[in-house]
Amino acid sequence: MVDAPQGSRVVVAPLRAWLGRRRVLVAGIVLVGLVVVITLAAPLFAPFSPTLPGADRLVPPGGVHWFGTDQLRRDVLSRVIYGGRIPLEVAFSSTVLSLLIGASLGWISGYASGRLDRTLSLVMDALYSFPALILAITIVAMLGPGVLNMVAAIAIVYIPTYFRVARGQTLRVREEAYVEAAQALGARAPRMLRVHIAPNTLNALMAIVSFNIADAILTEAGLAFLGFGLPPPTPDWGFDIQNGQAFLQSGYWWLITFPGIAIVITSLGFNLLGEGIGEAVGPQS
């Protein structure tokens, strides 16, 4: 019989030891969890409306308004709490999109080899070598501002990242004996990709997702900061920093400080999560 305290010794203690060795992973999970929960449950946490004026102009932090108010008499804390919705939405959607498209192209390219592979690789390498932000700006500038357009621009920019990893992994897996065996048994390309190739490349792909989200959040913030995001009054960290820039010379520090800290916490969280996953999965990555 295993009684309760013993059970906790069997389960909890090793778990604690395991987590103790993975401080980076834990830190990442905590930060990401914090941001995601607060953002999803924004109405529960925000003390005021993020878009309606409710106080005096440019009140410094303290008292009722912990993070102060902006020039339109809105509560900065509430805007910071709501301001993560667009960045997270855009970062998640664009990451999923580029993962789907990039990985599929990578599998096909790596498996097909030949001229198709060479052409695709060349195009992807060219896109990969170009600064993500500048490419995203150019695309979104032509599509016009908006959430969907930002998602599309950021997704296009990160497709090469997944393409390269999926292709590289496919080339590795293709050499395995079981793949050759399946080929010898007459499996066709779609089945080969679906059953034998793709599943064995997933680990490597998943290892970069978290870093990608972190990067996408910074790219979204950059786009919003440059004015390619949503029109006001939608709260968005990057856009709010641009708004605060105009008041910086007069010393209204809180307008840019708090949304910026929110971006750093979010991006740091996803970076640490990525590092932690890498450590947990294997020492080679």
- Is-contact 222 133, C-beta < 8 A? yes
Nearest to 162 by CA among 213, 119, 113: 213
201 φ, ψ (degrees, to nearest 5): -105, -5
DSSP conformation class of 84: T
Q: Which stretches of 139-233 are assigned E, i.e. beta strand?
A: none
| Residue number with CB closer to other proteins (5 or 251) | 251
- If one asks whether residue 34 binds other proteins (CB under 8 A), the answer comes out as no
Distances (CA, A) of 71 to 75, 236, 244, 259: 10, 16, 9, 15
Choose, by CB under 8 A, the member of 127, 192, 206, 230 that binds other proteins.
127
| Residue number with CB closer to other proteins (97 or 136) | 136
- If one asks whether residue 285 binds other proteins (CB under 8 A), the answer comes out as no
- If one asks whether residue 137 binds other proteins (CB under 8 A), the answer comes out as yes
Which part of the chain contacts other proteins (CB under 8 A), choosing from 71-79, 117-125, 161-169, 176-184? 117-125
Specify the length of the chain in residues: 285
Tokens encoding 203: 């680990």
- Is-contact 158 216, C-beta < 8 A? yes
Report helix, strand or coil for 18: helix
Cβ at position 52, least distance to other proteins in Å:
26
Tokens encoding 190: 């779609």
Cβ at position 120, least distance to other proteins in Å:
11
Cβ at position 268, least distance to other proteins in Å:
4
Cβ at position 136, least distance to other proteins in Å:
9
- Is-contact 54 48, C-beta < 8 A? yes
- Site residues (CB under 8 A) for other proteins, limited to 210-269: 214, 218, 221-222, 225-226, 238, 241, 244-245, 248-249, 251, 253, 256-257, 260, 263-264, 267-268
Which positions touch other proteins (CB under 8 A)?
A: 122-123, 125-127, 129-134, 137-139, 141-144, 214, 218, 221-222, 225-226, 238, 241, 244-245, 248-249, 251, 253, 256-257, 260, 263-264, 267-268, 271-272, 275
